[in-house]
Amino acid sequence: MGGASVFWFGVLVAGLCAGALFMFKGKEDPTLWRTCTILSLSCCYLMWALTYLAQLHPIIVIDRQQALLSNYEVFLVLSEEDARQKDVKTRRRVRYPENVTTLMFEGLQYLNDTACTTQSAEQIRDLKEALAEYELTKGEILQIINIRPTQPVELSFIIEECGDRFEVADLEEMCEIVYEKLPRAEEADEGEDVDGQGDQEQEENENGADEDSEMQD
């Protein structure tokens, strides 16, 4: 609705209000009728002026994307808010609309199955420093943090024009950096299991060698 339309709509409403006041109160108190008419017309003019100014100076979004957030940062925010909502003792509990609550719950449920649950701010900082020499874009680094690729083929889907910018050796080096800087808990457990099995096998071999030497003696 344009400014002129708003103005004439306001005039119509003001006229109807003024006519109704005149019919019921105008004969008894003409001053009241004149006062209400002036106020109605003033409000109508104010509506038109605001609409006109809004058309002259529309809202302009200067920066559509002020910051890039990793899955780890989103996970922290959702986890803190979820803990606050579950704490019945806190007085800062906020009642969100149902659709927002559903979105937060499903987002947290999804992120619980991703690599961000075992990440830390220090790990992400170290990864960015280690990847600085490859001159990746912010978006590419963000996707590497979120997806945590461990194979060169995964990086080829993340990095734009990957084949023109990097050799296979470079991609393998980046994968090694990601594996080192962003370790997963299950991988660490697997490594400990492998080490434990190796130590056990070595101990069994040593015991077997001792038994053989005793039998020979």
Mean pLDDT of the chain: 74
Residue 12 has pLDDT above 90, yes or no: no
Residue 29 has pLDDT above 60, yes or no: yes
DSSP type of residue 167: -
Distance CA 193, CA 208 (A): 22
The phi and psi torsions of 61 (rounded to 5 degrees) equal -85, 110
| Residue 160 near residue 192, CB atoms below 8 Å | no
List the alpha helices (DSSP H) in 57-97: 71-86
Distance CA 18, CA 70 (A): 59
Scanning the structure block, which residue is given the tokens 């006519």?
19
Distance CA 208, CA 38 (A): 108
Length of the chain: 217
Residue range 100-145, pLDDT digits in tens = 888 888 999 999 988 888 889 999 999 999 999 999 999 999 999 9
Which tokens in the block code for residue 45? 């003019």
pLDDT at 21: 59
> In terms of pTM, does the model score above 0.75?
no
If one counts every other C-beta atom within 10 angstroms of the C-beta of residue 82, the result is: 13
Residue range 61-89, pLDDT digits in tens = 555 556 788 899 999 989 988 888 777 66
What helix, strand, coil percent values describe the chain, rounded to 5?
75, 0, 25
Residue range 167-195, pLDDT digits in tens = 999 999 999 999 999 887 555 444 444 45
